[in-house]
Amino acid sequence: MTTTSPTRLSRRTFLRTSSALAAAAGFPLIVPSSVLGGDGKTPPSGKLRVALIGCGGRGGYGERYGRHEKSQIVAVCDPNRARREAAKQKYGGCADFNDFREVLADPGVDAVHIATADHWHVPISILAAKAGKAMYTEKPLGISIEQDLKARAIADTYGAAFQYGAQQRSIQHVRMGIELVLNGHIGDVKAVHVWAPKGESGGSATPELPVPEGFDYEMWLGPAPRKPFCHDRCLVQSGRNGIYHIYDYAIGFIAGWGAHPMDMLQWWADNAGRPAIPVRYEGTGTVPTEGLFDTLTHWNVTATYADGLPLRFMDSQTAAAVGPTLHPGIEGGHGTLFVGSEGWVRVSRDGWKAFPEALLQKGKDPGPKRLEVSRDQIDNFIESVLAKRRPIDDLHSAVRSDIACHLSDIAIRTGRPVTWDPAKETIVGDPDAARRMSRPMRDPWSLDRILKA
């Protein structure tokens, strides 16, 4: 990244100058990698060159790129200088950036690992697709249904490789349990149940504090509304971090954690010939009325597929309270339960269980319907991109499960049943609910401007 000729600007100088011009014009900068050299698709070293965008909690998972023989971490990016510099040191003094647009414009980067706060997942993914980068995007996907649909359209247009960060598809017992269901070992599926850890309430918007030195708060906020900085908003490193529980940046654990068991359900559905999500949602939940955190803490949703198959979607506390009356397989803090005419199977990150218990013995040889084998989500991403094949957790499947979480949230917030038209991909019969499919995004980060960049 140094100047190679006194008559030419260095790449970084070029980018900084262009970024300033783009900011003045009011839109994000995207420079195709072809402008700066390289085809942006074939790693000349034979290794996938990865940049980590977001160096906080989930960003730490990206260290696996540095251990895989076919990949290397070449850059880190974070608006928090302390985190960025710590990651740079951890990964051997690689390049570091405050602005992700410089990462996307660098031809030395083949793929990006997006582990930012949720409100940045889709904007960065869209711009990464347009820049010709493969992407691993942490769950959940978007903070609105509109974001999900736009991300899918852009990724399809540019042929971008995408891996969703719901790692259970790379857990052996999850795959084996779902294969039991696919091969009919529990008979016809009569109901499905999904539950995930509850959300958090509390947090305080006061006292307002000066932005810490070295933290580009404006870049961190990006498309989110401009709000005063405070301790609980975005820098606390724990499960109570406001980035998970403030509606400006997320829809809460109903998607942030619900993405995991819902993705397991969708993996089954995609391979059972029923990729379409449920068409009707109704339920109750709790939205905090005090404090900084304002996403759902509890939810209890009944959804129905077009053919009448029922889905129950709950938080962990609700599942513990009502689960025993619904089904004995509902236990633990999270899970996906398939109830059939001849038995049941439950899978989760922590393990699997079946009735009759003897079904588990069939897991190694369940029958002809088999799922892709993956030992690790990041390994699968690396190997899939290099082999030019679709990763195990592709964007189309991610969009379906993420929208089901959004529709559950909308049904609770409106207090009315919500009907989804899978052909038109919109909420029908309720204009107010349909308006909630989109969220305002602060300029210059609106979807329209990003799509035109």
Whether 57 has a pLDDT exceeding 80, the answer reads: no
Confidence (pLDDT) at 134: 98
Confidence (pLDDT) at 176: 98
In a domain? residue 182: yes
Q: Are residues 89 and 149 in the same domain?
A: yes
Q: Give the β-pairing of 71-77 and 95-97.
A: parallel
Enumerate the β-bridge partners of residue 111: 50, 134
- pLDDT tens-digit series, residues 344-392: 999 999 999 999 999 999 999 999 999 999 999 999 999 999 999 999 9
Confidence (pLDDT) at 238: 54
Q: Is 78 within 8 Å of 69 (Cβ atoms)?
A: no
Q: Are residues 138 and 235 in the same domain?
A: no
Spell out the residues 6+ positions from residue 25 whose beta carbon is closer than 8 angstroms to its own: none
In a domain? residue 3: no
In a domain? residue 2: no
Mean pLDDT of all residues in 87-100: 94
CATH number of the CATH domain containing 191: 3.30.360.10
Confidence (pLDDT) at 11: 44
Whether 37 has a pLDDT exceeding 70, the answer reads: no
Extract the tokens encoding 1: 């990244």
- Please report which residue ranges of 132-250 form alpha helices under DSSP H: 145-158, 172-182, 217-221, 231-234, 242-245
- Reported confidence tier of residue 322, pLDDT bands at 50, 70, 90: very high
Q: Are residues 329 and 416 in the same domain?
A: yes
In a domain? residue 336: yes
Q: What gap in Å lies between CA 351 and CA 347, rounded to an integer?
A: 6
For the chain, what is the mean pLDDT?
A: 90
Q: Are residues 272 and 408 in the same domain?
A: yes
- pLDDT tens-digit series, residues 100-125: 999 999 999 999 999 999 999 999 99
- pLDDT tens-digit series, residues 185-238: 999 999 999 999 999 999 999 999 999 999 999 999 999 999 999 989 987 655
The last residue of one of the domains, among 167, 199, 231, is: 167
Whether 5 has a pLDDT exceeding 80, the answer reads: no
The last residue of one of the domains, among 112, 142, 167, is: 167
Whether 9 has a pLDDT exceeding 80, the answer reads: no
Q: CA dist 338 to 261, 322, 344, Å? A: 12, 17, 6
In a domain? residue 384: no
Angle at 330 between CA 187 and CA 278, to 5 degrees: 65
Nearest to 422 by CA among 273, 234, 280: 280
Q: Are residues 226 and 145 in the same domain?
A: no
Q: Are residues 147 and 255 in the same domain?
A: no
Confidence (pLDDT) at 46: 84
- Reported confidence tier of residue 59, pLDDT bands at 50, 70, 90: low
Q: Which domain holds residue 352?
A: 168-375+395-453
Q: Are residues 121 and 173 in the same domain?
A: no
- DSSP letters spanning 100-136: HHHHHT-TT--EEEE-S-GGGHHHHHHHHHHTT-EEE
CATH number of the CATH domain containing 117: 3.40.50.720
Mean pLDDT of all residues in 153-180: 96
Confidence (pLDDT) at 43: 60
In a domain? residue 389: no
Spell out the residues 6+ positions from residue 176 whose beta carbon is closer than 8 angstroms to its own: 352, 363, 364, 366
Domain count, the chain: 2
Q: What gap in Å lies between CA 134 and CA 153, rounded to an integer?
A: 15
Q: Is the pLDDT higher at 23 or at 320?
A: 320
- pLDDT tens-digit series, residues 325-351: 999 999 999 999 999 999 999 999 999
**Site of tokens 């799509």:** 451
Q: Is the pLDDT higher at 279 or at 30?
A: 279
Q: What gap in Å lies between CA 73 and CA 111, rounded to an integer?
A: 10
The last residue of one of the domains, among 167, 184, 213, is: 167
Name which of 19-23, 295-299, 430-434 the model is least confident about. 19-23
Q: Are residues 175 and 102 in the same domain?
A: no
Name which of 13-27, 49-63, 200-214, 414-428 the model is least confident about. 13-27
3-state DSSP assignment of residue 7: coil
Q: What gap in Å lies between CA 288 and CA 72, rounded to an integer?
A: 43
Q: Are residues 145 and 244 in the same domain?
A: no
Q: Is 262 within 8 Å of 404 (Cβ atoms)?
A: yes
Give the count of beta carbons closer than 10 Å to the beta carbon of residue 354. Answer: 24
Q: Is 301 within 8 Å of 412 (Cβ atoms)?
A: yes
Q: In what order do the strands lie in the sheet with 418-421?
A: 351-355, 344-348, 335-340, 189-196, 310-315, 298-304, 280-286, 418-421, 426-428
Confidence (pLDDT) at 257: 97
Give the count of beta carbons closer than 10 Å to the beta carbon of residue 311. Answer: 22
The identity of residue 186, as a single letter, is: I
3-state DSSP assignment of residue 339: strand
In a domain? residue 109: yes
pTM: 0.91
- pLDDT tens-digit series, residues 231-289: 899 876 555 688 999 999 999 999 999 999 999 999 999 999 999 999 999 999 999 99
Q: CA dist 371 to 78, 185, 426, Å? A: 36, 15, 30
- pLDDT tens-digit series, residues 145-157: 999 999 999 999 9
Confidence (pLDDT) at 61: 78
Whether 83 has a pLDDT exceeding 80, the answer reads: yes
Q: What gap in Å lies between CA 163 and CA 172, rounded to an integer?
A: 18
- Reported confidence tier of residue 38, pLDDT bands at 50, 70, 90: very low
Q: Are residues 312 and 451 in the same domain?
A: yes
For residue 107, how far is the Cα from the chain centroid? Answer: 25
Q: Are residues 101 and 200 in the same domain?
A: no
Give the count of beta carbons closer than 10 Å to the beta carbon of residue 423. Answer: 6
In a domain? residue 385: no
Q: Are residues 88 and 173 in the same domain?
A: no
